[in-house]
Amino acid sequence: MSGPVLAGSDGVPRCPWAVSSQDYMAYHDEEWGRPVHGDDALYERLSLEAFQSGLSWITILRRREGFRAAFAGFRIAEVAAFTEADRERLLADPGIIRNRAKIEATLANARVLAGWAPGELDELIWSHAPDRASRPVPRTLADVPAVTAESTALSKALKKRGLRFVGPTTAYALMQACGLVDDHVETCASRSAPSGG
C-alpha cells in the first residue's frame, strides 16, 4: 500500500492508508491534515496520538467516542480535576485503551495544561509548524517521514514544559493530524481540498 493513491469504494483517490475502512475514509476526508486549533481540541489529539503509540490508528478511531466519554470530552480543566476514583474508573473502562502509563500521562498532562494561560498550548504547538512551501509534496507513502526536525523540537518543548508521552514520532503524528503539515500524497483528492480553518 505504498503507491501514490488508491480509490475507495466511491472511486475517490485517497492516500493508500485511508481506503481499508469507512472509518478511515471519513477520518482522512474530513479531519486528517485539516487545521485544528483550541487547547482542548489539541489536548484531545495529543492524548489520542499518545494512546495510539504501538497500536493501529483504527483501534483508537473506533474507540474515540469512548475516550471522549471517559475523559470528559477532553476538557482540560475537568480532566485536571479527576480523582483517584476516576483513575480506577478509567483503568476498568472497556471503551478505551486501558494502559496504565498512557492513562496516567493523560491525567498528568491535563494537570500541567490547566496551569497554562488560555491559548498557550495552541500557540506552542503551532509555533512549530514548518513553512509548507519549503516541504516537498509526498508522491507516495514512502516519502512521508515519521519524524522531522520540527517534530523533534516540538517534542522537546512539550517535555520541557512537563508533558509526557510526547516523543518526536507522536509529535509528528499530531502535526499531521492537526494540519501543521499536509502529508496527503500528491494525487490524493484531499490534498487540493480546502483546508478549512
Q: Which residues are catalytic?
A: 27, 49, 57
* Cell numbers standing for residue 46: 495529543
Cα angle for residues 11, 60, 114 (degrees, 5° grid): 125
Cα distances from 116 to residues 113, 124, 167, in angstroms, run: 5, 11, 20
Is the Cβ–Cβ distance between 77 and 114 less than 8 Å? yes
Bridge-partner residues for 14, per DSSP?
6
Distances (CA, A) of 67 to 98, 134, 179, 191: 10, 36, 22, 29
CA angle 59, 145, 100 (to 5 degrees): 35
Backbone phi, psi, residue 15, to 5°: -55, 140
**CA 159 and chain centroid, separation:** 17
C-alpha 82 chain-centroid distance: 22
Q: 7 forms bridges with which residues in the sheet?
A: 13
